[in-house]
Structure formats: structure tokens, C-alpha cells
A = this chain, B = another copy of it.
């Protein structure tokens, strides 16, 4: 199933917080969550049939153009966390993703975020998302 209410292509990617991701406040450093969002996108791509590694092999990248992230509660070393990722919008030359990061065991909301991306080739020129890569999204029935 690819859809989930108003969070289309919702995908859950879970992993434990690494020690190296903590800072002297004793909690996860705020920059680490930006990498967690990327992990969420990687997980979504693999699960929804649009693997990001494949896009890179085709000669394209999804450059990040805008991030808005809100921090609610901190994660700590060894916490099991889940990055919930979904697709908010697909445009001809870009995509927007939505996210919620939660503590997997307590369900507590840690972070919400949105990231915008534009498709560029390996010279950095903006271009259309390759049809073959994005096709799995449009061919899936969107229940919900």
C-alpha cells in the first residue's frame, strides 16, 4: 500500500541514535536530524520503487533547495527512532517531502520537517525528473 491518508507514500525508516550524533548537551545534535531526514528519503525511495541510488546512476540528483525543521523533544544515544517520510508534492523539476521523527518505543514526536528539492544533472543544471525513475509513483493506486 502506497498511500496513507494525507501522507502519500508514507514510509517508516527506523534506526538507533549513534553516540557520535550526541553533543555536550547530552542529546542528539540538531544537525544530525538533517541526516535523519535524508535517511527517511532513502528509505522511502527504496520502499516506493524510486531508489535514490538509481537516480544518481541515471546522472541526476535531487538537490536540496529549502528545509524547514521544528524541534520538539530531544533524542538521546541508543534511542530507537523512526523517520516517517511522505511525498507532499511532485513537480516536473522537483519534489517536496514531509517528515515526522518519533521515538519508536514511546511514539513521542521529536521533529517535524519539510524539504524541497530540485532535479539537477551532474553539471548542476536544473532539469526534469526522469520519467522512468518517477513512474512508480504515478502508476500506484492512491487509496486513502
Contact = CB atoms under 8 A, between A and B. Distances in A.
A7 interface: no
Interface string A105-128: 000000000000000001010000
13 contacts: A18-B38, A18-B42, A19-B38, A20-B35, A20-B38, A24-B25, A24-B56, A31-B31, A31-B38, A34-B34, A51-B78, A65-B70, A66-B71
Given A22-B24, A24-B77, A30-B64, 15 more contacts: A18-B42, A19-B29, A22-B23, A23-B24, A24-B26, A24-B27, A24-B76, A25-B63, A30-B34, A53-B77, A56-B77, A65-B71, A67-B67, A68-B69, A74-B124
Interface in A41-93: 42, 51-53, 56, 61, 63-71, 74, 76-78
A24 B61 CA distance: 10
Given A24-B22, A70-B65, A78-B53, A42 B30 contact: no
B66 A70 contact: yes
Interface residues of A, number: 39
A12 interface: no
A15 interface: yes
B30 A18 contact: no
User: Looking at A15, A18, A20, A124, which has the most chain B CB atoms within 10 Å of its CB?
Assistant: A20
A19 B52 contact: yes
